[in-house]
Amino acid sequence: MSDNSASYRVAIVTGAAAGIGAACSRRLAKQGVAVAVLDLDAERCADTVAAIRGAGGTALAVGADVADRASVKAAVAQVRETLGAISILVNNAGVTDFTPFEDVTDARWDFIYAVNVRGPFIMTQECLPDMKAAGWGRIVNISSSSAQTGATSMIPYSSSKGAVVTMTRSMAQEFGPYGITVNNIPPGSVMGTIMSEANRDRFQIPTEVLLQSVPVRRLGEPDDIANACAWLCHEDSGYVTGQTIGVNGGRVVS
């Protein structure tokens, strides 16, 4: 893949303090993109920003709650003013849940949907004008393999990620005429993130059992997702839109 630095690009990656979002931020920066590292508060983004700057890249820490319109508006304005118009958006921030269906409260349901569904909706709506003005844009939504397979005790989470997959398809059709592609990556089991380590502690499933369902016989790493994300944000992927790009070691095939 050729370097993308011929054009100046600015990305916002949400949920980028840790895990998959941090890896996507580092990988995009390596490809010459100036990256706004967005998470609930700017201080939490310090490590990701330091890693990017240490490698010679450009990064800005931004604090915002993706589910809150005013917070997102302020964050997007800060990025525009500091780095420039936004051309790439990675909607990665997400929250999970393992409540058996009959115990899920309305408040819990609404919280999961606010972050996982309303978040990408608000972020995309606020960044879209820049992409339309430029006639170029890349949006990558991080969904989940649970949206493809279903998952017990994960009904709010898996259904919210199903909404992300469908939102991707519809956005791709609506934004395509403006030179904007929209795709989603549903990760399988990605280790070394806050979310996956909490799940591992909770369920205590031995790694060898997890691996039985993964044909390549290893668990995913944040960089596996980041590499696919970087390609979807690159010039080279301009004819790919509305797609679900499974990065899961073959655990889910379609």
Active site residues: 157
Q: Which is nearer to ligand NAD, 17 or 171 (CB)?
A: 17
Q: How far is CA 103 from CA 99, 154, 199, 202, 239, in A?
A: 6, 11, 19, 17, 44
The nearest distance, CB 35 to ligand NAD, in angstroms, is 15
Q: Which is nearer to ligand NAD, 134 or 191 (CB)?
A: 191
Smallest distance from the beta carbon of 135 to ligand NAD, in angstroms?
A: 29
- Residue placing its CB nearer to ligand NAD in the complex, 47 or 235: 47
Binding residues for ligand NAD, rule: CB under 6 A, are 14-15, 17-21, 39-40, 65-67, 92-96, 115, 119, 142, 144, 187, 189-190, 193-196
Count of CB atoms situated within 10 Å of the CB of 252 = 17
Shortest reach from residue 12's CB to ligand NAD, in Å: 11
Are residues 12 and 79 in contact, defined by beta-carbon separation less than 8 angstroms? yes
Residues 50, 56, 57, 60, CA torsion sign = positive
Taking the complex as a whole, the smallest distance from the CB of residue 22 to ligand NAD amounts, in Å, to 8
Q: Which residue, 8 or 68, has its beta carbon nearer to ligand NAD?
A: 68
Nearer to ligand NAD, 22 or 136 (CB): 22
Report in angstroms how near the CB of residue 192 gets to ligand NAD at its nearest: 8
